[in-house]
Chains A and B, each alone.
Chain A
């Protein structure tokens, strides 16, 4: 890349908005993705908790049934 000092496209002052915009777009994409993943994770966690509750219920019901078995 030859160092031809033909007037550069934009001085750093005026160019900064574009550079910032580009990096901001990148950051935005990453953050949006993280947000979507966070929502999915929350849903999965909710499902896991529901499963746990169901398991606990069944364990309790089984115990309860055992207790009520008539002793012959």
Chain B
């Protein structure tokens, strides 16, 4: 019986510490941006959310490859949770990006930002992951098809960003990310700590979800063996192996 809860406590501690430090840096250490002023503080929230989300999708794709190669459905569960988490983080990134756009330029949405547009497309794609899973009844096939989809979709992420960036060369390239490597040192430090905190949060929630799912599955198995097949309600939309 695999256990996922080991090391969860250390992870939580690390996450909480890093996030507290990050918040302190954001609000007390990082200087005010000359252009955008106080609004720029959203940057330390929005960009880590987006980056961790995209990495999460790629992570999910890699785990899916693991499933396809080993046929072990634990990998599929890991992949499912990774993508699910990444989607939640992604929605958070999109909302915070929209708030930032509204505060900076007055519109809730702006097509001239290629990164936000690419991100929307990626989210639209991965939002279909769950409907796809839940429309296939056979659990083995469901896991297999979901993994194939996850692999292709993860490969799609970089392609999509390249294509959209090439398409959006407008007269006013209003880019939300602060020009790549032009961040002054103090801002860069704050950003990196924020990014680390977000990544740790993702890892923690992922592990947490895996542990909870695993526990649920074990309990179901016990019920089935103790009380017979009828006592276990079918999971209707099962995504995880049982």
Beta-carbon contact of B35 and A6 below 8 Å: yes
Can you name the residue of chain B whose Cβ is closest to the Cβ of A55? B226
What residues of chain B lie closer than 8 Å to A11, measured between beta carbons?
Answer: 37-38
The B contact surface, by secondary structure, is helix
Kindly provide the distance from the CB of A12 to the nearest chain B CB, expressed in whole angstroms: 4
How many chain A residues touch B (CB < 8 A): the figure is 33
Beta-carbon contact of A26 and B45 below 8 Å: yes
How many chain B residues touch A (CB < 8 A): the figure is 42
Interface segment among B140-148, B164-172, B212-220: the answer is B212-220
Interface contact tally, CB-CB below 8 A: 97
What residues of chain A lie closer than 8 Å to B32, measured between beta carbons?
Answer: 12
Known pairs A9-B36, A25-B96, A44-B216. 8 more at Cβ < 8 A? A9-B104, A16-B38, A22-B95, A33-B205, A44-B212, A47-B219, A48-B219, A51-B226
Interface residues, chain B, with chain A CB atoms under 8 Å away: 32-39, 41-42, 45-46, 49, 88, 91-92, 95-96, 99-100, 102-104, 178-179, 182-184, 187, 201, 205, 208-209, 212, 215-216, 219-220, 222-223, 226-227
Interface residues, chain A, with chain B CB atoms under 8 Å away: 1-6, 8-12, 15-16, 18-19, 21-23, 25-26, 29-30, 33, 37, 40-41, 44, 47-48, 50-51, 54-55
